[in-house]
Every structure is written in structure tokens, then in C-alpha cells.
Amino acid sequence: MKEKIDQIRAEIEGFSGSSEEFKQKYSGKKGIVQIMFDDFRNMPREEKAAFGKVLNELKNLAMEKQQALQDAAPVKVKGNQPEDLSLPGNPHFKGSRHPVSLTLNRMLEIFGRLGFAIAEGPDIEDDWHNFGALNIAESHPARDMQDTFYISMDPAMVLRTHTSNVQSRVMETSKPPIRILAPGRCYRNEAVSSRSHVFFHQVEGLYVDENVSFPDLKQVLFYFAQQMFGEGTKIKLRPSYFPFTEISAEVDVSCNICHGKGCNVCKYSGWVEILGCGMVDPAVLENCGIDPKKYSGYAFGMGVERIAMMNYGIPDLRILSQNDVRFLEQFEMIQP
């Protein structure tokens, strides 16, 4: 028995084949070492003490040899071709900020220079703060089920249709002077198209104090347009109507894509509408517990997606919510 073990030990030490061949002949379940252990079980008790330790040493030797053969074998990826370890590894792509986030951060930074603080409110809002406090009557078309997502009717709870709900909440709980920005996501039951979606992002601004005037509003918006779109940008205010402002206006900026010459983005007019604004209606101030005889204010609201589309030349609003990596990786080098 000892001579046989010594012979197998010498064979193991001198083996030069593959790891698989070694396993099949020596260390596998049907290999020589296992057969030796099977024979060992049938040996007389008085002989086991002499050969048990030697067999364990042989088993350990076989395991070490197999591991050494595995470590020495070349790594194969296809067929019999070894892997070239000198080749560069797979690249790791860096993430990028979403164009909506980039645009929103830029907007907040510009208005932050003018002293506007950020205020936030709930996405699920009650009827009063989303409509009633803002002078939107029950018969107003904005309350129609086709425009608003109602969660419950008694009491009426909705997905907010604008971030003006933040303005009403801040005016209820704060005393003038109030100068806030209300960024966030809004929801409207509209048809999804290249220019509209059921969800979008808004930034709304509110300034309430003594002797606030419409020229103050115009100058703030002019400053924003020049900082956002370039120093040569012009603005144009058109009379409009909103239930929570009086007087009201819509603001156009000169198209920064065609520079006023006309293109499909500006519908060949040279101007692109970016926001609505106006002086806060005295009834809104009164609804929120602010004396309209002492205080006045202005408010404005703009869509973040529309401004992002202008800044980056994005032709379709739907691209912004599709998470297409080919589109998003274009913004990898843009700093937030």
C-alpha cells in the first residue's frame, strides 16, 4: 500500500497535462485518490492508523496540484483563443444631468440673484389652495374634468394643475414682504403631443410688498430673459387674462434659434411665448389674509420644458420623458 501511495505521489508531482485531465485521473470523484480512500475503508483497523495520515497528505497534494494547473491555464473567451490581458477594459460611461434639471437649476440660480427664496408645496392639493384662493370660480373652465385630475370629489382633492398652490399657502402663513419661487411638477389631463404632456414642470414667482408695480415685474422678466437666452434677447408683453392676476400679460422672447428671422420653433413669427404674468388680483390677496389696500404684488409662471426645448433645440416635448440614453448622454459634458 505504501509503495502504491509513493508511486501516485510521484505521478501527481510530475503531471503536466490540463487541469481537467488531472481531475478526471486523480482528484475527481472517480479518480485514483478517491479509489484509494474507498479501499482504505475496507482495511483492517490496525492498518488504518498507519495509512490514514499518508492518504490525507496525498489528497491535499492532489488538490494543490489541481489548483496550480487551473491558475496556470490561459483564460479563454471564444473557441481556443486566449484573452489578451493587455487590451483596455470596457469603458464606464458617466451619468449626466437631465436637460430639465439643468434648465431648472439655471432658472433658480438667476432668480436667486434677485432675492427670490424657494418654496415648495404638495402635489396632491385641496380645491381651495389649487383653485378657490386663486380666484378661480367654480364655473371656470380650468375646473373641468377634462383639464384636471380629480382624486376625490368629497372633499375635492386634485393633482395640482400649477404650482400656484404654493403661492396661496405661503401668503396664508407669511407676512409681506414675500418674494418666493415655487418650482415643481404639475399635472393636467391633456392630449400628449410634441408640445404638451399630462405632466410638466413649472417655476412660479411671487413678490408681495408695499408699492410693487408692473414696471418692477417687467424689469425682472427682462433681466431673466437676457440671462437665460443671451444679452441680445428682447421681450414682448401681450395683454391676456388670468383669474388670479389683474392686469395680466403673456410674455414672448425673441427666438434664439433663428434670431427673429422665423423658424418652425417660433412658427415663423420670430417670437416664442415662455410665460404668463400679471399683478396679483386684490381678491387673491384678500383670500389669503393680506390687506390689498396696503400691499400689492406681481406673479409669473413658466414651463421648464419649453425653455429647455429652446435652449437645447429639442423639437419634441415627449423626448424629455422617454429616458433614451442616446439622447441623455448628449448632456454629459454640460455642467449643472
Q: Which residue segment(s) compose the domain that 66 sits in?
A: 2-82
Residue 51's pLDDT is what?
66
- CA pair distance 293, 211, nearest whole angstrom: 10
Residue 294's pLDDT is what?
96
Contact 295, 176 (CB under 8 A): yes
Is 205 contained in some domain? yes
Contact 177, 301 (CB under 8 A): no
- CA pair distance 5, 278, nearest whole angstrom: 99
Same domain? 111 vs 54: no
- 125: its cell numbers: 392639493
- 163: its cell numbers: 404650482
Same domain? 106 vs 26: no
User: What's 244's domain CATH number?
Assistant: 3.30.930.10
Buried b (16+ CB within 10 A) or exposed e, 21-46: ebbebbbeeebbbeebeeeeeeeeee
Residue 315's pLDDT is what?
81
- 322: its cell numbers: 422617454
Same domain? 73 vs 105: no
Is 336 contained in some domain? no
Residue in the structure block whose three cell numbers are 425682472: 220
- 170: its cell numbers: 405661503
* pTM of the model as a whole: 0.69
Residue 201's pLDDT is what?
95
- CA pair distance 31, 164, nearest whole angstrom: 80
Q: How many domains is the chain partitioned into structurally?
A: 2
Same domain? 37 vs 134: no
For the chain (336 residues), the mean pLDDT of every run of 10, in chain order, is: 75 80 80 76 68 75 82 62 72 79 95 96 95 90 80 90 95 95 94 85 96 96 93 91 94 81 76 93 96 96 91 86 84 66
Residue 17's pLDDT is what?
79
CA distance from start to end of the chain: 77
Residue 263's pLDDT is what?
72
Identity of the residue numbered 209 = D
Residue 7 phi, psi dihedral angles, 5° rounding:
-65, -45
Residues in the chain: 336
Same domain? 209 vs 327: yes
Is 223 contained in some domain? yes
Residue 257's pLDDT is what?
72
Same domain? 251 vs 171: yes
Is 296 contained in some domain? yes
Q: Based on DSSP, count helices (H) and strands (E) in the chain, helices before strands.
A: 11, 12
Contact 210, 176 (CB under 8 A): yes
Same domain? 174 vs 268: yes
Domain end (from 82, 111, 131) = 82
Residue in the structure block whose three cell numbers are 433645440: 313
Nearest to 279 by CA among 251, 236, 252, 242: 242
Is 38 contained in some domain? yes
Residue 259's pLDDT is what?
72
Is 90 contained in some domain? no
Residue 46's pLDDT is what?
67
- CA pair distance 20, 242, nearest whole angstrom: 81
- CA pair distance 271, 148, nearest whole angstrom: 29
Residue in the structure block whose three cell numbers are 415655487: 182
Same domain? 44 vs 117: no
Same domain? 145 vs 289: yes
Residue 293's pLDDT is what?
95
Same domain? 168 vs 282: yes
Nearest to 55 by CA among 79, 78, 38, 77: 38
